[in-house]
A and B are shown apart, each in its own frame.
Chain A
Amino acid sequence: NAGVMQNPRHLVRRRGQEARLRCSPMKGHSHVYWYRQLPEEGLKFMVYLQKENIIDESGMPKERFSAEFPKEGPSILRIQQVVRGDSAAYFCASSYREMNTEAFFGQGTRLTVV
């Protein structure tokens, strides 16, 4: 049973381009959480999704950021028109249900905007 898979591990984008980060949860997990870690800072919750539904996006910036978790395929975090301040590590975690269970993390995608 593979763990949470995130790709790419490293992503370099020029300002104004789009960044697409993918997260494949562990088998059997239908809950996905995205977190962002800015350099030298802690992690911050961005969005919580279940299959085909956004449950809580209170941590998502209002513009340029979107997330989806389709019925088939990985969860996608999409950042449009990236800016330097978007440079960060983005972590995805999955669990088989919310609360009371360990969240399993991917290795993260390190986005660098140049």
Chain B
Amino acid sequence: SQQGEEDPQALSIQEGENATMNCSYKTSINNLQWYRQNSGRGLVHLILIRSNEREKHSGRLRVTLDTSKKSSSLLITASRAADTASYFCAPVGGFGELIWGAGTKLIIKP
């Protein structure tokens, strides 16, 4: 399956530090998306990166994609308490469906 697998499963850092989360997948993709989910809440789209892109920025977020290694990373710089959430990467399947991993639980300590 194309399931995204996030690493680490949990990450706890001090406010102000950078947080890096990695994602690996198994087959060819058209694009890969990152989402955030606050505890018990809905999903927030963060970034979509296409297979022909290597890096993308959005505010404090930086996403990289290495299709040769079938991996992606999400970097959050200068973390804030409000960044505490679960982060999911989702490669896109053949019908445009998102194939989810278990996510990374990020905790930002004040």
Contacts and interface: CB of A to CB of B under 8 A. Distances in A.
Interface string B21-51: 0000000001101010000011111001010
A101 B103 CA distance: 21
Contacts, number: 65
Contact of A45 (B30, B42, B44, B100): B100
B96 A35 contact: no
B95 A35 contact: no
Given A100-B31, A102-B33, A33 B45 contact: no
Nearest to B48: A102
Contacts of A48: 95-97
A59 B42 CA distance: 20
Nearest to A107: B42
Contacts of A104: 45
A101 B96 CA distance: 8
Contact of B100 (A31, A43, A102, A107): A43
B102 to A, nearest CB: 4
